Structure 1
Amino acid sequence: MSPLVLPGVYAPQEDTALLADALDDEPLAPAAAVLDVCTGSGALALAAARRGARVTAVDVSWRAVATTRLNAARAGLPLRVRHGNLFTPVLGETFDLVLANPPYVPAPGGPHLPRGAARAWDAGHDGRLLLDRICRQTPPRLRPGGVLLLVQSALSDPDRTVGTLRAAGLKAAVTRRRRIAFGPVLRGREAWLRRRGLLSATDNEEELVVVRAELPV
């Protein structure tokens, strides 16, 4: 069943599918505690719930929260959905698995949170407005042996993601890569990305990556 997506909510796309593939390969113990931050339509949270996990889905957008609750009801799956900024609604809790498909597209302008639909993809001048926060805030939310699965663009420096997570004591690496055609957002700022050197003169595809990080037991 394809999820319903209310206007202004990020619809599942290639990055969602890539992270879902990584989730499929991840062993989940019965009733594992899973957190899906930046849940959007709830597609990944529901995929984990279908495997018997106890899932909490979080998003800063009230429309995304409503969409996820609607899709959980349609699927008949017990999903805990919370409105809030990243880990704020689950402070003091720990998880076996954290899923994250945050905004990661570099955007012209200052280091501020965008408004409207762009909030689902724009992530500051270097694309790391939320990525750096996730790297800092995830380790305390993981149980021993817990895993973070995060999807981002190669334009927003996956090496920095891996390095930050390793510095926090996690075993981290890029485990999946997929090249896709530019979507409307990248096409609209292609010239700016080339001027910044984030795209070469010949690049005509975007590379998506999944970073997997594990807290040692």
Structure 2
Amino acid sequence: MAIYFQNLTLEVDPTVYEPQEDSFLLAQHVNPRRKDSVLDMGTGSGIQALISAQKAFCVVAADVNPDAIKCARKNAAKNKIMNIEFRTTNLFQKIPEKFDLILFNAPYLPAEEYDKAGLAWSGGKEGTDVIEKFLNQTPAHLKRNGRIMLVASNHGNIKRIRAAAKANKLTARITAKKKLFMEELLLFSLRHATI
């Protein structure tokens, strides 16, 4: 299935998360600087990595799903975007470096049982399991003046997200919202807390 967004054409395999409203909310706000190093965690089809790579110095696209990495790599080639490195990894397991900008359209929906495809959307019982693990690991991978853009939902436990950010010395604020029929998507902007 082909998806068209801005100047990109994306093909999405059935085992890969198809860009939807949450993807587009994040994509509309991604604006890396020319010198930035960017990490697109949970890249899926690669939409955020491709948008970032058109401006940023370098981009790493990471996903736990090997099918997503194959799909994102194909989309980069199809759109003639070359400054992306692809890694199959569970969060930061294979990512030692630090970044200026970290993007994550995280699995945020409350669900305890799911299949392989559910890796893209299930955030555990309260919708925050993956987000909390991510926030626990992120400070070590975020440059001093770096920033994080994270998608969540009002169906998840927002208090837990804020608490995880605070526990990891990150400031968190909601910078955009998108109201859907039965849900509100939230875009968090996070940074190292000033000392």
**TM-score of the alignment, normalized to the shorter chain, above 0.5:** yes
How many angstroms apart in 2 are the aligned matches of 1:133 and 1:151? Answer: 15
Report what 2:99 is aligned to.
Answer: 95
2:18 corresponds to 1:14: no
CA deviations 1:185-212 (Å, max 9, x no partner) are xxxxxxxxxxxxxxxxxxxx20110111
Moved more, 123-132 or 8-17: 123-132
Gaps of 5+ in 2: 1-7
Partner of 1:143: 143
Residues 84-136 of structure 1: CA distance to partner in whole angstroms, max 9, x if unpaired?
A: 10111112x10000000111111144xxxx43212211221111220110111
Q: Which of the pair is proportionally richer in helix?
A: 1
1:40 aligns with 2:15: no
The TM-score with structure 1 as length reference comes to 0.81
Equivalent residue number for residue 174 of structure 1: 174
- Check the 8 A contact 1:171/1:214 in 2, yes or no: yes
Task: Tell me which residue corresponds to 1:195.
Answer: none
Residues 62 and 166 of structure 1: is their aligned pair in 2 closer, same or farther, counting only changes over 3 Å?
same
Give the 3-state SS of the residue equivalent to 2:15 in structure 1. Answer: coil
Q: Is the 1:158–1:211 Cα contact (8 Å) retained in structure 2?
A: no
Distance 1:102 1:53 in 2: 24
* Alignment-derived partner of residue 57 in structure 1: 61
The residue that corresponds to 2:81 in the other structure is: 77
Partners of 1:45 and 1:85 lie apart in 2 by 17
Deviation at 1:166, TM superposition (A): 2.4
Between the aligned partners of 1:129 and 1:169, the Cα distance in structure 2 is: 18
In 1, the alpha carbon distance for the partners of 2:99 and 2:25 equals 21
Verify the 8 A CA contact 2:38 2:56 in the aligned structure 1. no
Q: What amino acid maps onto 1:138 in structure 2?
A: T
Check the 8 A contact 1:158/1:209 in 2, yes or no.
no
What is the CA distance between 1:145 and its match in structure 2? Answer: 0.7
Answer yes or no: is 1:120 the counterpart of 2:120. yes
- Where relative contact order (Cα < 8 A, 6+ residues apart) is larger, the structure is 1
Mapped partners of 1:29, 1:52: distance in 2: 6
What is the aligned partner in structure 1 of residue 5 from structure 2? none
Instruction: List 4+ stretches of structure 1 deviating above 4 A.
Output: none
Kept in 1: contact 2:9–2:79 (CA 8 A): no
Distance across 1 between alignment mates of 2:57 and 2:180:
30
Q: Partners in 1 of 2:160 and 2:189 — Cα distance?
A: 13
Aligned length, in residue pairs:
186
Q: What 5-or-longer segments of structure 1 have no aligned partner?
A: 182-204
Q: Residue in 2 aligned with 1:155? A: 155
| 2:30 paired with 1:23 | yes
- How far residue 160 of structure 1 moved from its aligned partner, in angstroms, is 2.2
Q: Secondary structure at the match of 1:2?
A: strand
Q: Which residue of 2 aligns with 1:213?
A: 190
Question: What SS does the aligned partner of 1:90 have?
Answer: coil
1:178 CA displacement: 1.0
**More strand per residue:** 2
